[in-house]
Amino acid sequence: MVETNKIETLRWVGGFDGHLVMIDQTQLPGELIELECRDIDTVFEAIQMLRVRGAPAIGIAGAYGVLIGIQSDFDSVSALKIQLARTCDYLAESRPTAVNLFWALNRMRRTPDEFPTDDVIELKNALLKTAVEIHEEDRQMCHAIGQHGADLLANVDSFLTHCNAGGLATAEYGTALSVFFTCHDRGRKIKVYVDETRPLLQGARLTTWELMQHGIDTTLICDSMAAQVMREGRIEAIVTGADRIARNGDAANKIGTYSLAVLARHHGIPLYIAAPSSTFDLSLPDGDGIPIEERRAEEITHGFGRPTAPEGVHVYNPAFDVTPSDYIEAIITERGVIHEVNEDNVLSVLGIC
């Protein structure tokens, strides 16, 4: 067990021959348990089974997973490079939608070219340095997102969020939740409504837990209640995270986000996406090319191990949906806010042109 007053989603212990420790998020909010990952299959399973989840945290776990995958003794740098490639390929199969995983793995792949050496130990240390940098950069990006978001939404007091985009999904503070945490740190009294987020209830289990740990006024609602809550005038703005954002600003996030965007448009409520620059996939012109992970039927038919549907029923279980850019009021990044979300403004804020 770990203390709740210091929540660290994941951390690396030791040198290049160390191991990864993460909070097992499948056990929350009932128990706060840490999982030790000492082999590559444990890391793969943790990512696939959502023991670690949230695009940035998945990327960090992937980078540290690479270190675990190359802990054998190698007689040459060439042999190490071969195993590095195999490990990255293997981990890339764990989850398809969160682009941060592929971004982090590609950074690990590039390390031998950026730090050329004929010494196996030197290369392993360089790979450890890259993984630690990925972790620390995400921590800094999360806090910057929070600052930009709190400035942008300085006059908003009542929010709705979906799924979990807090410290549990990142290195620290989160993306969407970083906006709320920063508002709270500035002494503002805000209220956050949280969708339960079917079928795995990340909002109910994780987001409410994080917000309450931080002392923020939190109200949990069922996903199907969002329209009524909007109609009653309880929501001033919606803020969510994202798992992959296309070049034009179309954003993939947890299933149900697109529904909120449509409802928000009808009720005149702005929807904001909070995400780091590493979540953008500029190789995709729009959201049509974003791969949507389809998960096991049992997540719906046997919610948390109990039968909740007739045996043999057909199930369709996409884990994500894509919100078109014209439904998004702005995207909050660590580099600034993208207003009038389109390709030109995305590239401008990201510093591409």
Looking at residue 6, what is its pLDDT?
Answer: 52
**Host domain of residue 19:** 10-140
- Check whether residue 242 and residue 323 sit in a common domain: yes
CATH number of the domain that 315 lies in? 3.40.50.10470
Q: Which residue has the higher pLDDT, 304 or 289?
A: 289
The answer to whether residue 243 is catalytic is yes
| Residue 91 located in a structural domain | yes
- Check whether residue 50 and residue 89 sit in a common domain: yes
Last residue of a domain, one of 108, 140, 172: 140
pLDDT digits (tens, 9 = 90+) for 115-145: 999 999 999 999 999 999 999 999 999 999 9
The pTM is what?
Answer: 0.91
Q: Looking at the 3D structure of the chain, how many domains does it have?
A: 2
pLDDT at 2 over 60: no
SS (H, E, C) the chain: CCCCCCCCCEEEECCCCCEEEEECHHHCCCCCCEEEECCHHHHHHHHHCCCCCCHHHHHHHHHHHHHHHCCCCCCCHHHHHHHHHHHHHHHCCCCCCCHHHHHHHHHHHHHHHHCCCCCHHHHHHHHHHHHHHHHHHHHHHHHHHHHHHHHHCCCCCEEEECCCCCHHHCCCCCCHHHHHHHHHHCCCCCEEEEECCCCCCHHHHHHHHHHHHCCCEEEEECHHHHHHHHHCCCCCEEEECCCEEECCCCEEEECCHHHHHHHHHHHCCCEEEECCHHHEECCCCCHHHCCCCECCCHHHHCHHHCCCCCCCCCCCCECEEEECHHHCCEEEECCEEEECCCHHHHHHHHCCC
Q: Where residue 214 falls among pLDDT bands split at 50, 70, 90?
A: very high
pLDDT at 164 over 50: yes
- Check whether residue 153 and residue 231 sit in a common domain: yes
- Check whether residue 26 and residue 80 sit in a common domain: yes
pLDDT digits (tens, 9 = 90+) for 63-103: 999 999 999 999 999 999 999 999 999 999 999 988 999 99
Looking at residue 5, what is its pLDDT?
Answer: 44
| Residue 205 located in a structural domain | yes
Of 243, 250, 281, 321, catalytic:
243
- Check whether residue 174 and residue 320 sit in a common domain: yes
